[in-house]
Amino acid sequence: MNHPFNPLETANELRLAVVSPSATWPGLTKSGYGVGEPGLYYPNGERMFFRVVPSDDIQGRVAAEWLSDKNHTSICIVRQENPYSTRLTNLMLSNAEDFGITIAGNTIYDETTITDAEIQALVATIDQASVDAIYYPVVVIDSANSRTYDLLNALHASDPARPIMGGDGLIGGLRADNSPLTNVFATSFQIDLDQTPEIVEFVAAYEAKFDVTVTVSDYYAVATYEAVQVVLDAIARAGETPTRSSVLQALRDTESYQGILGQWSFDDNGDTTYTGFGVMTIENGAWVAP
């Protein structure tokens, strides 16, 4: 966000459309999340950013609602000092009161410097707070050499019955880990691999092409395909000789689009009306939808 090069500004100047299968920060399209957002991304006032996945304001609410539904009304937040972790934390803080959740602690740690002694001290502090659950909105890049993963293991080992919840950044680092952890949950964009005939067909073709097994944690492969297809659809609707402007307008006019995710539209902000966020958990070393 603070990088001097703003790709959305450049896309505006060139009248290019940006269709994302993965960018979920709410401030890209909605006000109230970051200073100057979303206007700073659209200096000429024209919206040209679209996404086929729901934004993180939904993710934050899903996390709070899930905790409340499971009667976890007192939580500690343990987070990294980076934009992703800070943003999910703020979204949890803004939703906690609505769902009767008390924040008993909100601790920031430094992935690059935290020591074993500091990990144990942090775990002891949380144990003393006797909370129902831990909210762990972090990014695990390499779980084999990650202090964030070490901290997760320590938090789990101190009370295996106490749930630990994170966001989609947790799934990315643990998806190939064959982790023995249990009672760990994460909010994420979510699909069922049989929710539409189009997804069933896509999964079969994808597995045959790349000789892999598609799981529910491969949701961004589906979203990427959807993003490409909606662009192709817009080009087809943009006139006999499509231009940047006509394709951009066709994307803005996307309504009741029938894709592999089902039927959805782009709203005036460029957000999808598809709201498939859910909660995943680790079972037998893999992320699954409970």
pLDDT in tens, 14-39: 667 899 998 888 899 999 888 899 99
* Residue found under tokens 């707070």: 129
* Nearest one of 206, 204, 167 to 89, comparing CA atoms: 167
Strand spans (E) along the chain:
18-20, 49-51, 74-80, 102-109, 133-135, 164-166, 184-189, 257-259, 262-264, 277-283, 286-288
Q: What is the pLDDT of residue 2?
A: 38
- Whether omega for the bond prior to residue 163 falls within 30 degrees of 0, making it cis, is no
* Residue found under tokens 């996307």: 254
Residue 218: DSSP 8-state: G
Task: Name which CATH class applies to 54-260+276-290.
Answer: alpha beta
- Overall pTM surpassing 0.85 (yes/no): no
Q: What is the pLDDT of residue 25?
A: 87
Residue-range domain boundaries for the chain: 54-260+276-290
pLDDT in tens, 183-221: 999 998 878 888 899 999 999 999 999 999 888 778 888
Burial of 2 per CB tally in 10 Å (0-12, 13-18, 19+):
exposed
| Spatial contact of 259 and 229, defined as CB atoms under 8 Å apart | yes
pLDDT in tens, 41-92: 988 888 899 999 998 888 889 999 999 999 999 999 999 988 889 989 999 9
Query: What sign does the CA torsion over 45, 51, 54, 55 have?
Result: negative
* Nearest one of 190, 223, 189, 230 to 206, comparing CA atoms: 223
Query: What sign does the CA torsion over 184, 56, 13, 243 have?
Result: positive
